[in-house]
Structure 1
Amino acid sequence: MVRKKALSSKPKPSAAAEKSENRRPSNAERSAYFARREAAKVLRSVLQGDAQRHAVGSIKSLVYGPSVKNKKATFALVCQTLKHLPIIKNVLESAAILNSKWKRQEELIYIIVYDILFGQEISLVGGDAEKFLIGRKNALQSALAKLLVGKKVRSIEDLIDFYQPPDVSKPCCVRVNTLKADVDCALLELGKQFTVRKDDIVPDLLILPPHTDLHNHPLVLNGSVFLQGKASSMVAAVLAPKPGWEVLDACSAPGNKTVHLAALMRGKGKIIACELNKDRIKRLEDTVRLSGATNIEVLHGDFLNLNPKDPSFSKIRAILLDPSCSGSGTTAQRLDYLLPSHATDVTDTERLKKLSAFQKKALAHALSFPAVERVVYSTCSVNQIENEDVIMSVLPLATSHGFQLVTPFPQWHRRGLPVFRGSENLLRTDPIEDQEGFFIALFVKKSNINDSEEQNGIRNNPRTISTQKRHFKRYSHVNRKNILMPAVYSGALKIWYFRLILQRRTRRTKLV
């Protein structure tokens, strides 16, 4: 009798609960269920990459990859969960409701707790995780109330105010994939819905207003245009490989710069796309497939282990080196401010030293390939240790191999920090004024320097000379010893240039 009574004393689920559990889920409920699972997978990759300081991709690149179906809902869930993550972790710890089983699915738990406390109301229709957490909704809400009291704030808005993302009004940039589309045709097609213009630096880049959402646009889905920032698009354009060349992209995933190289080469020649991380190889292959490029060979391996004397690399004429870096110049675009490490780290000096050591080694290796004529080194970092310091340390080796720094995009006004003679040849973009912080250096073999100058619009360009003079004048207080001589040479070059112009005009007058 006692046993029977004990069994009968167990509370029975209400009729409404039974009906909710047994009814067929609606389309919206099914969509929300799968979006939570997709968001949990992306969140796991993001958090693991952040913890190891070696991300497989940015939040946007992971969400908008081909494997995620419900992109908009998944992106919103991931971003909002990350924004509320410190609060969610505090609530779960205070409520003490997770056992070892659910801790193994912590990313999914974070997503569902966000929905329960801050997002949409979740019905009992769902998976076991949803049912488990909904059954403990009161405990979660009670823990949240205690947290508000403990932090001495009155509302949820006050609690999350610190985690609000900055207002980034960056223009939307798309690079036209000329393997599949014509720039003017893409301009016309996008112009039907948006205000769009051509960029004044990169020929195949189009600029649209901030917050323009093109992720589901047919031109993006079929690979006719790629969502790519202006500074990122500059890199391949600076390398400027010619059709028919053999080119090596040393650290190529996710592949936007790789397929840009293929477009610049008009699909002719050969590109070896080297990538060490096996998780990023699939993303690279997906990008190549979407672009329609047929001259790209994906190589899964370590660039530093490639033998420059190997006959298979004997015809490599250009190398694009965009190595792993801190990403400090694109934290806003990558949404890195949402990651746990952003809230705890001020500057990871040891990590920067390790990155810099790898970057120096990789650049020295790139310069050692015997047939190489052009090498571009680029980072999305604003740190001198990853940029000017790397170039300065490798410059003697580059000179011994017959390389010289050449000015990319002479009309660009922002140059390298004046820490060594020749830094005016480096290119920088500013994370605030240009909405991206990039660094680009171009090495060219001296035997090919004239062709390179013509290609980059440097020869006899008075605008280049005035830009260099402004560069030295602006930073003359930093290191006068290093920058005085180039400034003098720039003035002499300017005088020579105007004399040349005067001579040409005199000749033309005589001919007339």
Structure 2
Amino acid sequence: MQRPKTKRRNSFPPELAKTPKPLGMKKAKKSVEENGGKLRGADRSAYFARREAAKILRVVLEGDAKRRASASIKSLIYQPSVRNKKATFALLCETLKHLPIIKDVLEAASILNTKWKRQQELVYIIVYDILFGQAVPLVGDAEKYLMRHEGALRSALKQLLSQRNVKTVKQLIALHEVPDVSVPRYVRVNTLKLDVDSALFELQKNYSVQKDNLLPELLILPPGTDLHDHPLVKNGSIFMQGKASSMAAPALRPQPGWEVIDACAAPGNKTIHLAALMMSRGKIIACELKKERVKRLKDTIKLSGASNIQVLNEDFLNINPKDPSYSKVNAILLDPSCSGSGTAASRLDHLLPSRTAGQDTDMERLNKLASFQRKALQHALLFPALERIVYSTCSINQIENEDVIKSVLPIAESHGFHLAKPFPEWQCRGLPVFEGSECLIRTDPAKHGEGFFIALFARKDAISSESSNKNKTTILHSTPGIKDEQRKKKRIPFISTNPFKMWLYDQLM
């Protein structure tokens, strides 16, 4: 993990004694005093990065302890309120990576009183920097307190190495480490602001880029490509979105002029993708229950430039399908809360304590999620003018995917819907647990970088009507007799006092 170029500290074991020694307390204090007691440059950046990382670490650890879906580490880092994103991201990930060791060291050192236990996330961050990271200046009460116990921390680390029968910190980390998964960087071109070829031209100035063979607006860059500060990302011309996630909106195939509901919209990537496919014509109702996520949704919409989206701070289940306001809804995109098991790698979930402890499967939670998902899908089927529904999750669990579809399918058929097959060329399909599962779409985390699931319900009479209209159009354009008859009906009379001109007009017509 890359960190800003600052003076690095070294861990305690004697085999690393050839590397530069840690900055001692006297030198750190002298450095601060020479600067008038103020932090400057890299020290200032690191100081505030620790505070920002501690806030995010608290959210991550609380969510992991309760086993509930929460924002990913990346999305928390790259929210606008975080200033020094790169330093904070690196510090947070490295602290999580070393967290089992840090906890063991703190327990063995027995240095935390009640006050500092209440700020344990900041303590974890600073202890990481003391033992494995960069020099810690003596500014800030937490830094001062922990640096006074630096000797006890290092002694506890040395003792831990001996107990685990390893010689280096790297070997100690390997006992807890889960291998990282390397996946390409996908970006989706926001065609409301920029065409695909122009985006490709701009990105190729600095990166190796190619077009995706399935989605025309998707571009592929090498794994690890950091575009968060790229001008095209900042102005909303491109959005960083995985391939599987980018398949949901095109599977729905919303038409310009339609009314569409995005039932669980935040953070809004799929919402604005719908707007681009509809060329900002028609209407999109973006539902989001949680107020804090509504702000994120509105920010995404504003950045995209979409003009046909109405944000509704409401539970989708509370919307009355019989309300005249929703009598013209043609399509619904339902991407409900799920376990997120398919995006564990990209979400960096392998760094979470529950994953490293092998506690990543919680059947009680999965059953509750599946119950909500079934209820939401059944509710979506009640809208009277509905033609298409896409149900999608970023989960690899059958209980959230095939089992939900199988249980709702009889109800869907009673409302005139059947399973349609989006992206016929896509090979990875649903698990063969019921007839019709070959219509479902799956993506494989090992093969495609993330696990995703998509099901498309289409109303039978709407499909028939659409096919009939296409056939009529084909007949009209291919049958000379009908074409001539239509032309005669639309013929505009030609009036002239010149007999020759009138005769010539008749011959031409």
Q: TM-score range by the shorter chain?
A: 0.7 to 0.9
Write the mapping of 1:232-271 to structure 2, written as runs, cut at 5 A: 232-271=245-284
Amino acid at match of 1:101: K
CA contact (8 A) 2:69 2:337 kept: no
Pair 1:134–1:392, CA change in 2 (3 A)? same
Post-superposition CA distance 1:208-246 (Å, at most 9, x none): 122211111111111110000000000011111111211
The answer to whether the Cα contact below 8 Å between 1:429 and 1:437 also exists between their aligned partners in 2 is yes
Deviates more, 1:159-168 or 1:205-214: 159-168
Distance apart, 1:451 and its partner CA: 7.2
Q: CA deviation at 1:94?
A: 1.7
- Identity among equivalent positions (%) equals 67
Paired position in structure 2 for 1:392: 406
2:350 pairs, out of 326, 329, 337, with 337
Task: Tell me if the contact between 2:54 and 2:125 (Cα under 8 Å) persists in the aligned partners.
Answer: yes
Distance in 2, matches of 1:191 and 1:93, equals: 51
Alignment-derived partner of residue 72 in structure 2: 58
Are 1:33 and 2:27 matched, yes or no? no
Q: How does 1:20-419 map to 2 (within 5 A)?
A: 20-21=32-33, 22-124=36-138, 126-344=139-357, 345-419=359-433
The change in CA–CA distance for 1:226 and 1:15 in structure 2 (over 3 A counts) is: closer
Structure 2 alignment gaps of length 5 or more? 1-24, 470-509
SS in 2 for 1:405: strand
Matched-pair contact (CA < 8 Å) for 1:56–1:280: no
1:384/1:292 CA distance change after superposition, 3 Å: same
- Secondary structure of the residue aligned to 2:342 is coil
- Please report how far the alpha carbon of residue 297 of structure 1 lies from its aligned counterpart in structure 2 after TM superposition: 1.6
1:270-307 CA distance string (max 9 Å, x none): 11111122232222122112111122122122111211
Give me the whole-angstrom Cα distance separating, in 2, the residues matched to 1:16 and 1:68: 27
* CA distance, structure 1, for counterparts of residue 217 and residue 30 of structure 2: 59
SS at match of 2:145: helix
Amino acid at match of 2:371: A
Query: Once the two structures are superposed, what CA deviation does each residue of 1:187-214 show, in whole Å capped at 9, x if it has no partner?
Result: 1100111111111111210111222111
Is contact 1:329-1:436 (8 Å) kept?
A: yes
How far the C-alpha of 1:346 sits from its partner, in A, is 4.7
SS of aligned partner of 2:219: strand
Instruction: Give distance in 2, aligned partners of 1:424 and 1:19.
Output: 67
- Which is worse superposed, 94-103 or 365-374? 94-103
Give 1:127 shift.
1.4
Summarize the Cα distance change of 1:25–1:85 in structure 2 as closer, same or farther, 3 Å threshold: same
SS at match of 2:446: coil
Deviation readout 1:377-408 (Å, 9 max, x if unpaired)? 00111111111111010000000111111001
Partner of 1:505: none
Task: Choose 284-293 or 443-452, whichever is displaced more.
Answer: 443-452
Q: State whether residues 342 and 394 of structure 2, in contact with CA within 8 Å, keep that contact through their aligned partners in structure 1.
A: yes
Structure 1 counterpart of 2:485: none
Deviation at residue 54 of structure 1 after TM alignment: 2.7
1:427 matched to 2:427: no
C-alpha change, 1:208 and 1:17, in structure 2 (3 Å) is closer
- For the pair shown, the structure with the greater C-alpha radius of gyration is 2
Contact kept? 2:288, 2:294, Cα under 8 Å:
yes
User: 1:167 Cα deviation (Å)?
Assistant: 3.6
Q: 2:176 touches 2:356 (CA, 8 Å); kept in 1?
A: no
Rounded to whole Å, the distance in 2 between the matches of 1:428 and 1:347 is 20
CA distance in 2, matches of 1:36, 1:311: 52
The separation in 2 between residues aligned to 1:411 and 1:422, in whole angstroms, is 16
Instruction: Identify the match of residue 449 of structure 1 among 435, 438, 463.
Output: 463
CA displacement, residues 152-189 of structure 1 (integer Å, 9 cap, x when unaligned): 22111111013334242211100001111111100110
CA RMSD of aligned residues (A): 1.9
Aligned residue number for residue 493 of structure 2: none
Specify the code of the residue in structure 1 equivalent to 2:231. Answer: P
Instruction: Decide whether aligned partners of structure 1 residues 217 and 14 sit closer, same or farther in structure 2, where only a CA change above 3 A counts.
Output: closer
Distance in structure 2 (CA, Å) of the matches to 1:454 and 1:215: 47
SS at match of 1:334: coil
User: How far 1:375 sits from its partner (Å)?
Assistant: 0.3
Can you list the C-alpha shifts for 1:247-282, whole angstroms capped at 9, x where unaligned? 111111111111111111111221111112223222
Change (3 A) 1:199 1:393: same
CA distance in 1, matches of 2:30, 2:167: 37
Structure 1 length normalisation: TM-score?
0.83
2: CA distance between counterparts of 1:37 and 1:411?
49
Aligned partner letter, 1:117: L
Q: Which amino acid aligns with 2:313?
A: H
Distance 2:316 2:462 in 1: 25
The one-letter amino acid of 1:383's match is: N
**Equivalent pair of 1:406/1:453 in contact (CA under 8 Å):** no
**2: CA distance between counterparts of 1:15 and 1:382?**
53
In structure 2, the CA distance between the partners of 1:38 and 1:446, relative to structure 1 (3 Å rule), is same
Paired amino acid for 2:32: S
The answer to whether the 8 Å contact 1:48/1:55 transfers is no
Letter in 2 for 1:20: V
Deviation at 1:19, TM superposition (A): 6.4
Aligned length: 442
In structure 2, the residue matched to 1:17 is: 29
